[in-house]
Amino acid sequence: MNELSRQAVAIAAKIPQPACSQCNLQELCLPVGLTTAELSTIDHLVSERRKIARGDALFRSGERFTAIYAVKLGFFKTEVLSEDGRHQVTNFYMAGEVLGMDGISAESHHCDAIALEDSEVCLIPFQQLESISIKVPTLQRHLHRVMSREIVRDQGMMMMLGAMRAEERVVAFLLNLSQRYTARGYAAADFNLRMTREEIGSYLGLKLETVSRAFSHLQEDGLVQVEKKHIRLVDTTKLKKMLSQESTAR
Amino acid sequence: MNELSRQAVAIAAKIPQPACSQCNLQELCLPVGLTTAELSTIDHLVSERRKIARGDALFRSGERFTAIYAVKLGFFKTEVLSEDGRHQVTNFYMAGEVLGMDGISAESHHCDAIALEDSEVCLIPFQQLESISIKVPTLQRHLHRVMSREIVRDQGMMMMLGAMRAEERVVAFLLNLSQRYTARGYAAADFNLRMTREEIGSYLGLKLETVSRAFSHLQEDGLVQVEKKHIRLVDTTKLKKMLSQESTAR
DNA sequence: CTGTGTTTTTGATTTTTATCAACCCGTACG
DNA sequence: CGTACGGGTTGATAAAAATCAAAAACACAG
């Protein structure tokens, strides 16, 4: 697999790691280097859990930024919306991932975070996180990594949006999801989509019809099995090959 | 102007701020809150200046990540390249901006940074930056902002790549450049492009011919004057309107 | 169980953009 | 001096994706 595909697929690839006791905060807890005392400090940091019903917002654009959120259970999308009603999905977040870091730069969020199913998050007050990370250098370093990973992840997305055709984007999306599920210890080749075709399309810069057609075509070729929201990756190797081979990319 | 356009145009909008004495490190120096002693600490941090000739690389993909770089003079592009020779420009950086933060997550860079003209950068060793930011909370907070801004900026790009048609992308690109020049105290409506049509196209997910056509068409409409690399934005208001009005976006 | 609204699929057509090709313009270089 | 080359423009054509349209599948409230 070439660099481009690795990029696109590895968007947000995560390694499973020991969770904090409060919640499965895989992304923020380092596997090594933290003393028990430090871990306890972090546990205290996670001040609150919050349940978000399907369709409800965890935060909205313009709201004051106070915390980042570790998804404990469920699934979120973030989207930017414009005055005239258009909106674009910028990311999806599954259990074990951290969202809300967009707000750090401006003291307020610049996108909406919507639960795609009944979800539960751990709230991590950012000011406190900053204070503590001053006392625990390992934590600081790790926070920087998580933020940088978001940058790399976004740049992989840009790569995808700029250089791939419709079907390749869908493949990259499916492989990416699969990889993220794997990294979290779930079945990799078999999963349910939490989002609609329209949301996938919005995320990939495509129309929902195009996404649907891509699914159908991949199924015809025997590469995936699609049944409504359920996806089974039949031939992962071939799927990956689709991204690495010299296709007439734009 | 709606949120979408604000996003796209404001990618990396910066407010001019007092520079460090070593270099015009506008992005990392807070205008308020730093004592003279602290400023001096930061000055010592900037360990080295480096000149990069046009066409040369500041760093390359895979190289060990040790520092981030403040562009003192000149212009850079970053690009990801794949085994089969394809490559995609992921960003441009002008004087006063910081690049190299992609490497934080993985200890190595994941893209190439190439000088588009003879340039000069200040090297900021990242480990030291992290250490010092522990002693200077204001600096830490600011570092986080700069990183978050990169995230927001990238998401604006994603928005653009996903939701805009060719001509809109070009307009957003020009307005964004203009805004960044303005923020740095240069003439806003009148500037030279440092990159080729091909590089612009790669960045915007378009072919060079499409970029060229977009320029021509905008010129026909009297919105910009294009002469080779020189750009004059004739009617900024109309240009901005192009992004906000309900166009048949994808 | 039934009707209503949402989601998905599929087909026909149009629009947008890529592709292929020719040509222009500087300029670096033998 | 001319010529080879990189960068840019423009036109004709092809490919990809959007748009329009219709119908099927489904989810859910009453």
Per-residue pLDDT of A90-114, as tens digits, reads 999 999 999 999 898 888 999 999 9
Residue A35 has pLDDT above 70, yes or no: no
**Residue B203 domain-assigned (yes or no):** yes
Q: Which residue did the predictor score with more confidence, B250 or B138?
A: B138
The answer to whether residues A78 and A84 touch, using CB atoms and an 8 Å cutoff, is no
Mean pLDDT, residues B128-137 = 88
On whether both A181 and A123 belong to a single domain, the answer is no
| CB of A88 nearer than 7 A to strand C | no
State mean pLDDT over B27-50.
64
Packing angle, helices B126-135 and B137-163, rounded to 10: 120
Q: Is B98 found in the same domain as B24?
A: yes
Q: What is the pLDDT of residues A47-58, one digit of tens each?
A: 689 999 999 999
CATH code for position A10: 2.60.120.10
Same domain, A82 and A194: no
Q: Which of A113, A133, A157 is the last residue of a domain?
A: A157
pLDDT value of residue B247: 52
pLDDT at B150: 86
Same domain, B26 and B149: yes
CA distance A139 to A159: 30
The answer, yes or no, to whether residue B130 has pLDDT greater than 70, is: yes
| Domain-located, residue A200 | yes
Q: Is residue B192 located within the same domain as residue B127?
A: no
Pairing of strands A112-115, B57-59: unpaired
Q: What is residue B16's predicted lDDT score, i.e. its pLDDT?
A: 38
Asked whether the beta carbons of B191 and B181 are under 8 A apart, the reply is yes
B19 assigned to some structural domain = yes
- Given A108, A136, A157, the domain boundary residue is A157
Query: What is the rounded average pLDDT for all residues in chain A?
Result: 83
Minimum mean pLDDT among A23-32, A171-180, A207-216: which range? A23-32
In chain B, % of residues over pLDDT 90: 54
**Cβ pair A92, A142 in contact under 8 A:** no
Percent of chain B residues past pLDDT 70, beyond the cut: 79
Greatest Cα pair distance in chain B: 56
Does the pLDDT value for residue A2 go beyond 80?
Answer: no
- Check whether residue A150 and residue A176 sit in a common domain: no
Residue A250 domain flag: no
Query: Is the pLDDT assigned to residue A22 strictly greater than 60?
Result: no
Last residue of a domain, one of A157, A175, A200: A157
Please name the member of B106, B151, B202 whose beta carbon is closest to the beta carbon of A150. B151
CATH number at residue B180: 1.10.10.10
Is B4 within a domain? no
Residue A244's pLDDT band, with cuts at 50, 70 and 90, is: confident
Q: Would you state the pLDDT for residue A5?
A: 54
**A60, A149: one domain:** yes
- Of residues A218 and B105, more confidently modeled: A218
Q: Cβ contacts (< 8 Å) between A140 and chain B: which residues? A: 130, 133-134, 140
Task: Tell me what pLDDT residue B87 has.
Answer: 86
**pLDDT tens profile B160-196:** 889 999 999 999 999 999 999 999 888 789 999 999 9
Convert the pLDDT of each residue in B66-89 to its tens digit.
Answer: 999 999 999 999 999 876 667 899
Name the H helices within chain A: 3-10, 36-45, 126-135, 137-163, 166-183, 197-204, 208-220, 236-244
- Secondary structure (DSSP) of chain B: --HHHHHHHHTT-----PPPSSS--TTTS-SSS--HHHHHHHHHH--EEEEE-TT-EEE-TTSBP-EEEEEEESEEEEEEE-TTS-EEEEEEEETT-EE-GGGGGTSB--SEEEESSSEEEEEEEHHHHHHHHHH-HHHHHHHHHHHHHHHHHHHHHHHHHHH--HHHHHHHHHHHHHHHHHHTTS-SSEEE--S-HHHHHHHHT--HHHHHHHHHHHHHTTSEEEETTEEEES-HHHHHHHHHS-----
List Cα–Cα distances, B212 to B77, B215, B216, in angstroms.
20, 5, 6
Split into its structural domains, chain B has a count of 2
Decide: A95 and A180 in contact? Cβ < 8 Å: no
Provide the pLDDT confidence category of residue A21 given band limits of 50, 70 and 90. Answer: low
Based on the fold, state whether residues B85 and B21 are members of the same structural domain.
yes
User: pLDDT value at position B74?
Assistant: 95
Partner-chain contact B155 A130, CB within 8 Å = no
| Mean pLDDT, rounded, for B14-39 | 51
Q: How far apart are CA A143 and CA A147, in angstroms?
A: 6
Mutate to test the interface with B, among A28, A30, A68, A82 (most CBs of B within 10 A): A82
What pLDDT is stored for residue B142 in this prediction? 87
A125 domain residue, yes or no: yes
My answer on whether B178 and B200 are in the same domain is yes
Q: In chain B, whose CA is at the least distance from the CA of A208? A: B250
Q: Which of A90, A105, A140 sits opposite B134 (nearest CB)?
A: A140
State how far residue B212 is from chain A, nearest Cα, in angstroms: 16
Query: By C-alpha distance, which of B91, B159, B173, B84 is closest to A111?
Result: B159
The pLDDT-based confidence of A147 (bands split at 50, 70, 90) is: confident
Task: Say if residue A17 is in the same domain as residue A140.
Answer: yes
Question: Is position A70 within any domain?
Answer: yes
A19 lies in the same domain as A95: yes
Residue B13 has a CB neighbour count (10 Å cut-off) of 16
Is pLDDT larger for residue B14 or for residue B168? Answer: B168
Instruction: Look up the domain containing A126 and give its range.
Output: 3-157
Q: Do A104 and B205 touch (CB under 8 A)?
A: no
Cβ distance B2 to A82 less than 8 Å, yes or no, reads: yes
Q: Tell me if B7 and A110 make a contact (CB, 8 A cut-off).
A: yes
Per-residue CA distances from B124 to A71, B25, B57, B132, B186 (Å): 34, 10, 17, 12, 25
List the A66 CA – C11 C1' distance (angstroms). Answer: 50
Same domain, residue pair B98 and B168: no
B46, two tokens: 């900037």
Whether A249 is in a domain gets the answer no
